Structure 1
């Protein structure tokens, strides 16, 4: 889920003048997804974001990145800085060149070696304490291991 917060409090009857574009990366949502793990790589995701920005001719962008999305999202303003006005960076990885901690390497190894990873159980283990309805929502787009290539490959991009 991608949260979008809007302030509807206004002293006039004017309409909102901004739009929100909230894409999800391939392999996570309910849309069609490649079935081969090798299809999921940094270039696929980054090129898709660049194409989206260009095809919608987005300007004056407030780019919000969170979690693993920062790995890709933070490279976008470098491509065409004229399109971007603000960055909001939350809970993400910023490459420093120092390499990953052993805990991150262990997490990547676990995700990569668990073909039928239950994403809802993983979120629960990370301390999110999901309700049964929330768990069903996490599981819905990923009914079996053939749909989980993006889930398996995305963490590996931290090491690529």
Structure 2
């Protein structure tokens, strides 16, 4: 069973194995199921509120960000969505790409751009977003279990 407690610090790369990604997706689904689905923003905003606080509804991207340990919208832009980040040493911008948890949901939904997830989340109903997050998590667990079984048979 997934631990639905929200992490207080970003997950480490070691925690981002298929099981850890599935757990994060389940936490994001639980967050939306419990607090509601926000539209137009990562989470329900109050004037100048850039950080998520307990009890706020989230869209899919915001919920993923909170579920992997981020609370600030700028951190989600960089770490989850993969915005262009300026590298002063290279004097250039580099795109980090979507976070592994978001990438898993994008693959599940069959989309290539985080903006497509945001648009989908804004148009969907709470239940559809929760079900998609949970289905993606379940699919990851099935693939991980099958890969583990193949590894045991091969050895």
Q: Same fold (TM over 0.5)?
A: no
* Bigger radius of gyration among the two: 1
**Greater fraction strand:** 1
TM-score (norm 2): 0.29
